[in-house]
Amino acid sequence: MRYRALGRTGMQVSVQCLGTMMFGAVGNPDHDDCVRIIHAALDQGINFVDTADMYSAGESEEIVGEALQGRRDDVVLATKVHFPMGEGPNRGGNSRRWIVREVEDSLRRLRTDWIDLYQVHRPDPTTDVEETLSVLTDLVRQGKIRAFGCSTFPAEEIVEAHHAAERRALHRFRTEQPPYSLLARGVEKDVLPVAARYGMGVLTWSPLASGFLTGRYRKGDPIDLSAGRAALNPARFDPSLPENARKLDVVEQLVAVAEDLGCTLPELAQAFPIAHPAVTSVIIGPRTMAQLDASLKGAGLTLDDAALDRIDEIVPPGTDLYRADGAWRPRSLTDPSLRRRPVAERAAA
C-alpha cells in the first residue's frame, strides 16, 4: 500500500481509505464481522479510516471505536459532522452550538481522546462560515481534533472559507471530500484545482457511482428497481429514462476498456481517481469481506496514458453523467424563488 501526504497536515495516509458508511444497520449489522473487515484492511496496510456521526445514527462510529482498541495510534481517523442526529431544530448543521456538543458524542462513540480529521459533512447556508471555522479552530487548540476539512463543498465556498480564515486568523480547511468517479468528473473543473491551489488533501467518495460501476447494471439486462440501491431511488436506475440509458451505454464502453486491461470494471473505477494529481486517497466502502478483498486486489492497478486517453474519449474531462447520491446542491438551484423574479417584474417593458 502506498502512502501520500494528506495536504499540508503532516500526516501520511494510505492511498485507499476505508469508508465505513456500510457498517451498521444500513449495511452490515454484524458488529463482529465489521470489526474483522476493519482489522483485515489495517493488516493490508490501510491506515486511513473515514466514518461519520450520521452513519447508521452513530452505530458506525461505535463499530470503528471497538475495532481500533489497541490500534488507535496506527490509524489516521476521520469522521464528520452536519446531518441531523435526532429530533429538534438545533441537532444538526454547522453551528458552534451543535459542533461543540457533537464532537463529544463522536469522541465517546469512537472511544478515543482525539480525532485526526474532523470534517464538515455539507455546507450550511444558515451558518456563517466564520462561525464554523472559529469553533473548529478552538477544537484544534483544545487537542480534541488534529485538523479539519470539508466534504462536498463547491469550489466557491472552499475559496470563501479560506479567505475568511485568513481574514480572521483562524485555522483553515485542510481537506475536501468530493464525489469523483468515471461517471462524475465535474470536480475536475473547479474543486480539484482549487484544492490543489490551497494545498488541501483530497479524499474522494463513491468511485463506483452508487453501484453503476460495479458491473451489476448492464445494458439489455433486466434491472430490479425494487431491490438494493435501485429501490432507494428507482428513477436513478430506470433504464427507460434517457439519462440512464446514456450511462449504461458508457458502462459498456468502460467494460471494454477494463477487459483490454485485464481487470474488472470495479478495479478500473477505483484506480481512476487515484491517477489524478490532486487526489490523496480514494474511499472504498465495503459491506462484506469479499468486497474488501476485491478492492484490495485492484489496488495495484496502474492506468497508463493510453488507458486514460480512452477514458477521456468516453467521458470527457469535467463531464458529469451522474450526480452522486447525497451530493450537495446550492439553494440557487433547489429554491425556485431564487431564480424567478415576481411575475410583475419579469417583462422587459
* Chain segment 204-224, per-residue pLDDT in tens: 999 999 889 999 888 888 888
Active site residue 3: no
Distances (CA, A) of 93 to 83, 98, 126, 251: 6, 7, 8, 36
13, 3 Cβ separation under 8 angstroms:
yes
Q: What confidence tens digit (pLDDT) does each residue in 275-321 have?
A: 999 999 999 999 999 999 999 988 999 999 999 999 999 999 999 99
Q: Mind spelling out the 3-state secondary structure of 309-328?
A: HHHHHHCCCCCECCCCCCCC
Instruction: Calculate ∠ Cα 170-171-175, nearest 5°.
Output: 145
pLDDT at 328 over 80: no
Res 197 pLDDT > 90: yes
- Write the burial class of residue 87 (CB in 10 Å: 0-12 exposed, 13-18 middle, 19+ buried): exposed
Grouping H, G, I as helix, E, B as strand and the rest as coil, residue 330 is: coil
Beta pairing class for 76-81 and 48-50? parallel
pLDDT tens digits, one per residue of 164-179: 999 999 999 999 999 9
* Spatial contact of 248 and 217, defined as CB atoms under 8 Å apart: yes
227 pLDDT exceeds 90?
Answer: no
In contact, 23 and 36? CB cutoff 8 Å: no
Name the active-site residue from 55, 118, 198, 322. 55
H helix count then E strand count, the chain: 13, 10
Rounded CA-CA distance 303/272 in Å is 7
Between helix 242-261 and helix 265-274 the angle, nearest 10°, is 90
The model's confidence at residue 201, banded by pLDDT at 50, 70 and 90, is very high
pLDDT band of residue 229 (cuts 50, 70, 90) is: confident
The pLDDT of residue 325 is 65
